[in-house]
């Protein structure tokens, strides 16, 4: 059973979210502040965190920024901060989705279902792991063990970065537009969110080292292409619009 942590300063919202998710078959632990959920995470990481922005003891944006330095589980913001700039900031900090209050409980549950489906798809794509080369450089991606290595060095990726990398690698050599990445990895297709993709790719390249921009090529005006060659000789599958 998937374990979900919910942190929300509103008792009504917190208990409502907990109830609907439990009815949908999830194990849910609810917290009123960042201190409580931080203590819980230190004991056991959840499969998903639902996080408010304005909390009694801190700011959810800052909390996520620090969280992503050590943990890779997915995060969905559920908040009354509805400005587009807030939504974009949330994604740029590593959130996997952003739900604005007031929200439909049914929609929230569907978004949670969709997120877990996307994660399951990325895992099944590399169930036995894969190895790719670029000149003398070697990249290894194994979703089962959740390991990503470049030239023998482990590279930590956030949940969103994992999905983007998996999508690019599974379509090696094929141009993938920003819109395709948004739709496939985030369920969004708005042009104003294109910079979210650019930010994630920039961070991924930096983590991959000096050859990051060669592994993930920029096709100006369109999107990105993974340039690695599979050691199995299997070409990337055709990307879906």
Q: Which residues of the chain have pLDDT under 50?
A: 127-128, 235-238, 240-241
Q: What kind of architecture, by CATH, is found in domain 3-122? A: 3-Layer(aba) Sandwich (3.40)
Of the candidates 138, 180, 204, which has an alpha carbon nearest to the alpha carbon of residue 213? 204
pLDDT tens-digit readout, 196-228: 899 899 999 999 999 999 999 999 989 999 999
Fold of 127-230: Arc Repressor Mutant, subunit A (1.10.10)
Measuring CA to CA, how many Å separate 1 from each of 14, 116, 143, 158, 190?
20, 12, 19, 22, 33
Count CB atoms within 10 A of the CB of residue 10. Answer: 15
What integer pLDDT is reported at residue 188 of this predicted model? 64
What integer pLDDT is reported at residue 129 of this predicted model? 59
Domain ranges in the chain? 3-122, 127-230
What integer pLDDT is reported at residue 157 of this predicted model? 85
What integer pLDDT is reported at residue 235 of this predicted model? 46
SS (H, E, C) the chain: CCEEEEECCCHHHHHHHHHHHHHCCCEEEEECCHHHHHHHHHHCCCCEEEECCEECCEEHHHHHHHHCCCCCCCEEEEECCCCHHHHHHHHHCCCCEEEECCCCHHHHHHHHHHHHHHHHHHHHHCCCCEEEEECCEEEEEECCCCEEEECCEECCCCHHHHHHHHHHHHCCCCCEEHHHHHHHHHCCCCHHHHHHHHHHHHHHHHHHCCCHHHHEEEECCCEEEECCEECCCCCCCCCCC
Q: How many CA atoms within 13 Å lie on the side-chain side of 84?
A: 7
The whole-model pTM stands at: 0.72
The vertex-98 CA angle with 80 and 26, nearest 5°, equals 100
pLDDT tens-digit readout, 74-96: 999 999 999 989 998 998 888 98
């Amino acid at each position: 059973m998937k374990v979900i942590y919910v942190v929300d300063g509103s008792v009504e919202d917190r208990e409502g979210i907990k109830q609907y998710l439990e009815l949908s078959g999830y194990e849910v632990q609810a917290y009123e502040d960042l201190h409580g959920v931080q203590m819980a995470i230190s004991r056991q990481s959840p499969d998903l965190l639902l996080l408010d922005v304005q909390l009694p003891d801190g700011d959810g944006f800052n909390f996520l920024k620090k969280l992503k330095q050590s943990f890779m589980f997915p995060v969905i913001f559920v908040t009354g901060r509805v400005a587009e700039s807030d939504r974009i900031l949330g994604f740029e900090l590593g959130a996997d989705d952003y739900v604005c209050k007031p929200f439909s409980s049914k929609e929230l549950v569907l978004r949670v279902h969709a997120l877990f489906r996307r994660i399951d798809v990325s895992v099944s794509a590399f169930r036995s792991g894969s190895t790719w080369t670029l000149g003398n450089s070697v990249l290894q991606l194994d979703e089962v063990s959740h390991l990503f290595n470049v030239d023998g060095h482990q590279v930590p990726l956030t949940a969103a970065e994992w999905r983007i990398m998996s999508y690019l690698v599974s379509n090696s050599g094929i141009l993938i537009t920003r819109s395709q990445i948004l739709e496939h990895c985030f369920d969004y297709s708005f042009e104003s969110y294109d910079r979210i993709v650019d930010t994630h790719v920039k961070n991924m390249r930096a983590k991959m080292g000096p050859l990051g921009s060669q592994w993930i090529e920029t096709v100006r005006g369109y999107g990105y292409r993974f340039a690695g060659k599979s050691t199995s000789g299997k070409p990337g599958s055709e990307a879906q619009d």
